[in-house]
Amino acid sequence: MFRLISLFVILALAACIFVQYNDADGFWWMLIYAIVIMVTLLQFWNKHKPFALIGCLGGLVGFVIFMPGWGLDTWILLAKPKDDINQVELVREAVGLLLCSFWLFVLLVSKNKKNAPGENRSV
């Protein structure tokens, strides 16, 4: 079941990469989402823990840096954009980092089950 969720996350992140192609700073966000996809793929071979930890902490630091404010007004910007389009963009990018950090944290605390003797399990 966790592998199915991982594949869904990979598809969602690929869609995020696709919609970034015409953004002014799209290259950097494409790179961030691609790195999260690679860490998710490494999870299938149980080689993801150090990368998930670094990515999770980096995403949380980025969230703190990009989030323009911590009041209720900042979160309302997600639902009802105001005149300052740059501030709205920063909030959306910060929330994207927060979601990536959350997923990397889930990968970090998840346990990969080893195949039982005689069990043949394919991806």
User: What is 43-70 written as a DSSP string?
Assistant: HTTT--HHHHHHHHHHHHHHHHHH----
What local confidence, expressed as pLDDT, does residue 29 receive?
A: 84
Separation between Cα atoms, residue 100 and residue 60, nearest integer Å = 9
Residue ranges per structural domain of the chain: 2-106
The string of pLDDT tens digits covering residues 58-95 is 887 777 776 666 555 555 655 565 566 666 777 777 77
Residue 113 pLDDT exceeds 80: no
Please indicate whether residue 2 or residue 84 has the higher confidence score (pLDDT).
2
The interaxial angle of helices 85-109 and 49-66, nearest 10 deg, is: 160
